[in-house]
């Protein structure tokens, strides 16, 4: 492992070094923001804005602390999980089982959501969603297999930017008073579901049934925090220089880390804090914009986007301001956001699952990383095609289920595992002088503990009844 390169020190150089956060933002701006946030705003009003702020802040902290561990050790978050004490690789087994299920559901949900938007633009008959879902799946699979994301992601990013700017504009004109906004952001209110909502959509249950998917997929879920460590490795921050996903820490090199090298790595920890904070700011702003647009435009019309009509009903957010042209823009950009997010997920989920199996199977670890990636990519191709054929008429159910499974169920364990990596595993890997210089602060532990308690509360007291409600039990 080479000596880590010098970290940028000036503000301008820091801004130029931002990179992983841009990939992170491009990956998570999709169904959680465009569909779930807008729908929840229209259904519950601005009172639950706090759910966005709290959920994104706690997940940002998990992602940032995980990336800090990666900067110091040169290995990703899954390898950190493998170091957690207890039966060998017990947490990696839990993550593998949970993320196979979550990944299949979430990637399939995005294909169906994209197909719903495209089907609203160009209907293809009774099986329109299934056909468009197949097209989206095959297209995304081909791009992910080739690895040529950059140009396509840039083009789709421009369309996503258009819908984000539009949502910001609408939200700015629909903002409540400053006092009401503060109460909504920090009041922790949980309102009752209005009677008119139940009359229009009998499937709506409790407020938590709408809030949990919002918390789960605002700015990404469990997997997004893992992927962020991959993007940090790709950028070469700190001890990740000359390394990539699929590689464990070079323990012999870390044990020889000098004080001067540790100071350079510590500077990169500052860079990753700036980078992650940028992603946090974008996540809160964008998600809140769609949420407030739904509360300000759709709620007064007593309109809650639902089932197969979700795309056309959401397009009224833009058509209210800009007529039919605005509705078409929303549908085109919304489809681009779903496909762009799916491309990000198809870049991340196969790597996450391959990392899990690599830690569990020495034989699999000897397989070329590209082949590992493509093996799991084929899994998502098959499951996506099946989901589009079987569940193409109800994208909202799939999106909410994916948000709960990926965004909530494993997050408490993730917070604890990242804390263990920062405060115990990292110290054991480093030389004594480097460990002293790179020791995390007390507030890292405090906020990770807060994340564990908050998401633990959701998982124990709210998720079971929400899942029963969603699955019809």
Nearest of 112, 143, 131, 102 to residue 338 by alpha carbon: 112
Domain-embedded: residue 138: yes
Q: How many CB atoms lie within 10 A of CB 456?
A: 16
Q: What DSSP line would sit under 85-109, residue for residue?
A: SSSTTHHHHHHHHHHHHHHHHHHHH
pTM: 0.93
DSSP 219: T
Locate 451 and state its tokens: 């994340």
Query: Which residue range(s) make up the domain with 127?
Result: 11-441
Binning pLDDT at 50, 70 and 90, where does residue 152 land? low
- State residue 3's pLDDT score: 65
Q: Is residue 453 part of a domain?
A: no
> pLDDT at position 33, please?
82
- Return the ∠ at Cα 334 (arms to 329 and 339), rounded to 5°: 130
Say if 470 falls within a structural domain: no
Q: What is the CATH number of the domain that holds 186?
A: 1.20.1740.10
- 283's enclosing H/E stretch is helix 259-293
Domain count, the chain: 1
Tokens matching residue 232: 């940090």
Q: Angle, nearest 10°, between helix axes 395-407 and 222-235?
A: 70
Decide if 449 is inside a domain: no
* Spatial distance between the Cα atoms of 134 and 381, rounded to a whole number of angstroms: 9
Query: Residue 12's pLDDT is what?
Result: 58
| All residues at 6 or more sequence positions from 66 whose CB lies less than 8 Å from its CB, including other chains | 77, 80, 225, 226, 228, 229, 414, 418, 421
Of residues 13 and 260, the one with the higher pLDDT is 260
Taking residues 189-202, what's their average pLDDT? 88
Distance CA 428, CA 323 (A): 61
- Give the per-residue pLDDT at 438: 97
Separation of alpha carbons 382 and 122, rounded Å? 25
Asked, for residue 88, whether it belongs to a domain, the answer is: yes
Average pLDDT, the chain: 88
**Per-residue exposure over 13-51, b if at least 16 CB sit within 10 Å of its own CB, e if not:** ebeebbbbbebbbbbbbbbbbbbbbbbbbbbbbbbbbbb
Average pLDDT over every residue of 367-380: 94
**Predicted local distance difference test score (pLDDT) of residue 257:** 95
Angstrom distance (rounded) from CA 329 to CA 310: 15
Of 350, 369, 423, 409, which Cα lies nearest the Cα of 83? Answer: 423
The answer to whether the CB of 278 falls within 8 A of the CB of 286 is no
Q: Does residue 4 surpass a pLDDT of 80?
A: no
| Domain-located, residue 213 | yes
Contact 239, 414 (CB under 8 A): no
Query: Sign of the CA dihedral 265, 267, 270, 272?
Result: negative
Label residue 450 by pLDDT band (50, 70, 90): very high
Quick check: helix, strand or coil at residue 166?
Answer: helix
- Decide if 317 is inside a domain: yes
Instruction: Decide if pLDDT at 24 tops 80.
Output: no
Q: Is there a contact between 304 and 298 (Cβ–Cβ < 8 Å)?
A: yes
> Which tokens hold the place of 272?
């990753």
More confident residue, 68 or 389: 68
Rg (CA), the chain: 22
Neighbours of 86 (CB within 10 A): 7
* 14 — pLDDT class (breaks 50, 70, 90): low
- How far apart CA 222 and CA 217 sit, in angstroms, is 9
pLDDT at 391: 73
- The tokens describing 439, both together, are 């020791």
> Judging by beta carbons within 10 Å of its beta carbon (0-12, 13-18, 19+), is residue 154 exposed, middle or buried?
exposed
Determine, yes or no, domain membership for 454.
no
Pick the range with the lowest mean pLDDT from 72-86, 89-103, 111-125, 307-321: 307-321
User: Hunting for tokens 């000098």 — which residue is that?
Assistant: 258
What letter would DSSP give residue 88? T
- Per-residue model confidence (pLDDT) at position 357: 97
What integer is the mean pLDDT of 187-203? 87
Rounded to whole angstroms, how far apart are CA atoms 298 and 196?
13
């Amino acid at each position: 492992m080479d000596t880590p390169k010098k970290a940028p020190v000036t503000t301008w150089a820091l801004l130029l070094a931002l990179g992983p956060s841009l990939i992170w933002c491009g990956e998570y701006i999709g169904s959680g923001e465009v569909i779930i946030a807008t729908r929840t705003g229209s259904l519950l009003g601005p009172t639950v804005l706090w759910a966005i702020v709290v959920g994104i802040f706690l997940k940002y902290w998990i992602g940032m602390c995980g990336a800090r561990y990666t900067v110091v050790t040169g290995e990703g978050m899954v390898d950190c999980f493998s170091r957690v004490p207890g039966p060998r690789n017990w947490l990696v087994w839990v993550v593998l089982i949970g993320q196979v299920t979550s990944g299949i559901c979430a990637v399939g949900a995005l294909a169906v959501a994209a197909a719903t938007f495209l089907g609203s633009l160009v209907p293809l008959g009774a099986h329109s969603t299934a056909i468009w879902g197949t097209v989206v799946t095959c297209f995304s699979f081909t791009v992910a297999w080739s690895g040529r994301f950059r140009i396509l992601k840039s083009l789709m990013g421009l369309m996503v930017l258009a819908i984000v700017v539009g949502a910001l504009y609408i939200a700015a004109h629909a903002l409540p008073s400053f006092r009401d906004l503060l109460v909504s952001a920090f009041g922790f209110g949980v309102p009752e579901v209005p009677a008119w909502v139940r009359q229009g959509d009998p499937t709506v249950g409790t407020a938590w049934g709408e809030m949990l998917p919002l918390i789960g997929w605002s700015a990404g879920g469990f997997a997004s925090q893992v992927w962020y460590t991959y993007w940090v490795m790709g950028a070469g921050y700190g001890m990740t220089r000359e390394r990539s996903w699929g590689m464990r820490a070079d323990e012999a090199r870390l044990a020889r880390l000098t004080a001067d090298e540790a100071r350079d790595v510590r500077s990169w920890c500052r860079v990753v804090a700036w980078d992650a904070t940028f992603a946090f700011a974008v996540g809160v702003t964008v998600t809140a914009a769609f949420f407030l647009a739904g509360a300000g435009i759709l709620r007064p019309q007593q309109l809650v986007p639902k089932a197969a009509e979700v795309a056309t009903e959401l397009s009224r957010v833009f058509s209210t301001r800009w007529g039919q042209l605005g509705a078409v823009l929303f549908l085109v950009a919304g489809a681009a956001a779903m496909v762009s997010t799916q491309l990000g997920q198809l870049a991340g989920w196969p790597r996450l699952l391959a990392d899990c199996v690599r830690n569990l199977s020495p034989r699999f670890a000897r397989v070329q990383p590209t082949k590992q990636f493509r093996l799991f990519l084929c899994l998502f191709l098959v499951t996506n095609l099946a989901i589009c054929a079987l569940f193409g008429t109800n994208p909202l159910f799939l999106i909410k289920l994916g948000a709960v499974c990926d965004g909530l169920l494993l997050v408490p364990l993730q917070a604890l595992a990242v804390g263990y990596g920062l405060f115990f595993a990292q110290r054991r890997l480093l030389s004594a002088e480097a460990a002293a210089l790179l020791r995390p602060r007390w507030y890292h532990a405090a906020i990770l503990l807060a994340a564990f308690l908050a998401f633990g509360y959701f998982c124990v007291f709210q998720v079971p009844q929400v899942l029963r409600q969603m699955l019809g039990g």
